[in-house]
Structure 1
Amino acid sequence: MSSASKKIRFGLIGCGQISSRHVASIKTSKNAQLAAVCDLNEQRAKQYNVDWTTNYHNLIKRGDLDVISVCVPNGLHAQMGIDVAHANKHCLMEKPLGLNLQQADRLINAFKKSGKKLFAVKQVRFNPTVLALKDAVSAKKLGKINNAALVVRWCRPQEYYDNDAWRGTKKLDGGALLNQGIHYIDILQWILGPVISVYAKTDTIGHKIEIEDIALAILKFKSGAYATVEFTLSTYPSNLECSLSVLGKQGTIKLGGPAMDTIEIWQVANCPKPTIKNGLPPNVYVGGLYQGSCPNHIFVYQSIINYFLKNTKTFADGLEARKSLEIVEAVYRSAKQNKEIKLPL
């Protein structure tokens, strides 16, 4: 079979809210096929009109699947992923890899032993604005980076948590920074490099939940740069901003908008503001109850398909996804212990 006609067959575990982005992305590609799904709720499992089961072990043992996409609550990610590795399948894991580094490392090691790939959903990396900033920093157009500021002022009404029992719990959700903020912590470290220390505060101030809904942090990078992080889900009535400002000796760039999807400032010597294609608008959920990041899952899936058909590596793997999880865990440790935390952990 030629690569042009070959189809990568996907199975999907978890037919909840985010699954629609995965399914739409698979259906968009002529080289991908959604072959089977799994959900504990039969009605949700049936919605995609493919083979279905309520037992994920039945799904992952099928011999006709290439990649299993895991779209279940956070606290279930690591063990399900390990089971996928033991079933000798590749895996696409929604964020985060696990609730902590211990879980993530078990997951990563399982795939290392199996010889199969662990792909991670890092869709914000495909925002055209983010790619433009990444290119400018990588090409040293801003000179030495002095400092940066990440601001995520998003809204999650209490109804968001009340609608699903797992949300807001320590056991299955794990944390707001872990669930929503990790997207943008990933962008921060992807562009600025390794973090060597974190000092942070977290609290729960606007919701009746077990986890934090606000996090403030100071990060120091191996390069010598610093960054501040302001993250909250207590912005009302809707998302206010998701911005990243990067300040270098030769210029300043600020990405903004509700999902880091616009260029607000581009002041760089000998590097004019680029003309970029329009990105996809932020996800809108539950009839407008809240918004999320831009729905770039289609590019995540295309990167996986290109790996199999063209042997290109434009995807984020487990080790890459571990980096942002390590920073989030350092934030939690710092807040709990009220001290600066050194990395690596």
Structure 2
Amino acid sequence: MPELHFPPAGTWTRADASDLGFNAGALRAAVRHAKDHESPWPVDVGGMVAKDDPPPFNRPIGPTRPRGPATGLVVKDGLIVAEWGEPGRVDMTFSATKSYVSTCVGLALDRGLIGDVDEPVCHRVADGFAGEHNELVTWRHLLHQTSEWSGTLFGIPDTVDHNRSAADAPARKGIPRPLQQPGTFWEYNDVRVNALALAALRIWREPLPDVLAREVMQPIGASSGWRWEAYDNATVSIDGRDMASVPGGGHWGGGLMIDSFDHARFGLLWLAQGQWNGRRILQPSWIQAALAACPQNDRYGFMWWLNPVQSVWPNASEGAFAAIGAGGNVVFVAPERGLVIVTRWAANPNNVIDRVLAALQ
């Protein structure tokens, strides 16, 4: 892999795409396609939040914000070779937030706050993990979305996402089904992701946005404009202090609100195997574990989407991975290409990504 450039805080270096192996005309065509194929979502995304949930869970309980236009960045070896839309605009990013939750858990493991991802969560967190079923749930189960955690969190039951697919809203979504043994069944369930975020808050004993800022975003030179917003009712008391427990997405509002440049820095950190300009931020062992496929879903790791047998992004290798959120919000990483692609509000982000990959000769 060519030498990576790590952008200093507040600045990026632009480069000529043709100097870095791109067919410049094909890359321009890919960008034009991205701009011409914007998400059909309305500018006021509040109407899209929780729209597939049954009453009374079909409304926001956290903040939302109007979205920007189709936006994106192409970063090769740490240098920007293409950009479109408004990459400096702070926008909701929906379930791309989950990859940041996972990162906070990885940092907790590195600091010794968790002994092992196969440790039952109840060994360190009592809240929500008592009882014959939930006491079997491990950190790995939660990270893989195979936990089958059962309960109600911030007024929302886990059953609201039973029978849910990440890709669409099947007719049976929200219809309760028999629980399986934790670790044996994969289901995309935002209540359980939020249970993981709350458990991470309890072991860190400080808000996850503060952890992320100190341990990741400040060291990689991110802006001060990003926010990780909680639900209106998601305050818990720890050590006598009230703290907001942030969600792993924008399903009911809230979640990470961030600009595309900061997303690209996060992707570049993962591209660089967890180090930033010589400073170790994430352990290589965590990177490897997070990008290993879940036995129940080979397209999913520790809240990162994977590319088994090139089935998702045909023009990338099996080593490619991405943080993915609704509305076409994606942070795509192709380590073998030295490439990070950020898309926002794309009608079909995978199509945009494959066109960019095809332009790299």
Please give the TM-score of this superposition, normalised by the length of structure 1: 0.29
Larger strand percent: 1
TM-score (norm: length of structure 2): 0.28
Higher relative contact order (CA 8 A, sep 6+): 2
